[in-house]
Amino acid sequence: MTRKTLPWLQSGGCGGCSLSLLNAETPHLLARLQQANIELLWHPSVSEVNGPELIRLLNAIVDGDTALDILCLEASAMLGPNGSGRFHMLSGTDEPMFQWIQKLASRAKQVVAVGSCAAFGGITAAGSNLVEAIGLQYDRSQRGGLLGEQWQGADRLPVVNIAGCPTHPDWVTETLTLLAADALASDDLDEYQRPRFYTDHLVHHGCPRNEYYEYKASAETAGDLGCMMEHMGCLGTQARADCNIRPWNGEGSCLKGGYACVNCTAPGFEEPRHSFVETPKLAGIPVGLPTDMPKAWFVALASLAKAATPERLRRNAVAERLIYPPGRGVKKRE
């Protein structure tokens, strides 16, 4: 099988997706790429190639002298100021990074946006977006982006958006493995061109707080053990990802760490128009209901669940550590 080539570029972002990727385990990142028959041409965190050598490599790709199979971009493309791209020039050249991305994408068989910034603009595009940050094929939820709505790689795939902030290392390595094996088709992508192997799940699936959710035994302050949907801004019942099914390093997730899910795989998550740790409500009912849940059913089920909540759960929900284990009777409050 022909070895697939892959350069990894970074643009306007924090580098967090690379930091997460370097935590890939069993096996580690380089072993995974070797198993997938992928040749990593360059990555800013792991490559020894210096500036002039990188420029020669990129020029060789643009000139058609070096084959480019999979182009990965981490972080958003920055077009500012005023469309000039001068906020982010590729060091050693007199060209904006976004123009290099366009030229390289025109040579690539497949293009991958790693992280929500590269996919949709993400954190870099938040607020007034003075840097004019944009995703590769989306501007938040609107198709278009840097490469345009109709762009496809030589293999006829649109940009593959591995959304997340940061991305799980397995989402990245599994996507790259599928691409290298020509085993990822358009039908394997969801409505935002994210791989369905992780976005056909909800963050709610496998959540360690599910028993509290079932009985609507809710956390009230940071550090409480209860469900964080009702008061603490958790969007796990709406967010598309398998974070609690395949936790980071086999152990952690945002919810396991006590942090509400902010739906970081979705376009526009960075601007919820309220605090990330606040659940907006209308007439006491959360505005963002669980996926596929009609409001009337939610109200009815929530009322029944609260009425049936075991006292053990009610008390543990507002505690910072487990106080009452299952099976031990707890005297109900008067």
> With left for phi above 0 and alpha for psi between -120 and 50, is residue 137 left, alpha or beta?
alpha
- Percentage of the chain beyond pLDDT 70 is 98
Domain that holds residue 278: 202-317
Report if residue 82 sits inside a domain.
yes
Task: Give the pLDDT confidence score for residue 331 in this predicted structure.
Answer: 67
Provide mean pLDDT across the span 72-101.
Answer: 97
Query: Which segment of 32-46, 88-102, 315-329 scores lowest on mean pLDDT?
Result: 315-329
What is the per-residue pLDDT across 117-139, written as a single tens digit (0 to 9) for each? 999 999 999 999 999 999 999 99
The CATH number given to whatever domain includes residue 136 is 3.40.50.700
The answer to whether residues 166 and 248 belong to one domain is: no
Provide mean pLDDT across the span 307-317.
Answer: 93
Provide mean pLDDT across the span 287-292.
Answer: 84
The answer to whether residues 224 and 275 belong to one domain is: yes
Answer with the one of 199, 222, 254 that is the final residue of a domain: 199
Q: How confident is the model at residue 76 (pLDDT cuts 50, 70, 90)?
A: very high
DSSP state of 123: G
Q: How confident is the model at residue 25 (pLDDT cuts 50, 70, 90)?
A: confident
What is the per-residue pLDDT across 138-157, written as a single tens digit (0 to 9) for each? 999 999 999 999 999 999 99
Structural domain tally of the chain? Answer: 2
Task: Give the pLDDT confidence score for residue 251 in this predicted structure.
Answer: 86
Report if residue 231 sits inside a domain.
yes
Task: Give the pLDDT confidence score for residue 152 in this predicted structure.
Answer: 97
Task: Give the pLDDT confidence score for residue 67 in this predicted structure.
Answer: 97
Question: 125 with 140: CB under 8 angstroms?
Answer: yes
The 3-state DSSP composition of the chain as helix, strand, coil percent (nearest 5) reads: 25, 15, 60
The CATH number given to whatever domain includes residue 235 is 4.10.480.10
The answer to whether residues 188 and 246 belong to one domain is: no
Task: Give the pLDDT confidence score for residue 42 in this predicted structure.
Answer: 97
Question: 315 with 330: CB under 8 angstroms?
Answer: yes
Sign of the alpha-carbon dihedral angle for 244, 248, 251, 255: negative
The answer to whether residues 127 and 258 belong to one domain is: no
Report if residue 178 sits inside a domain.
yes
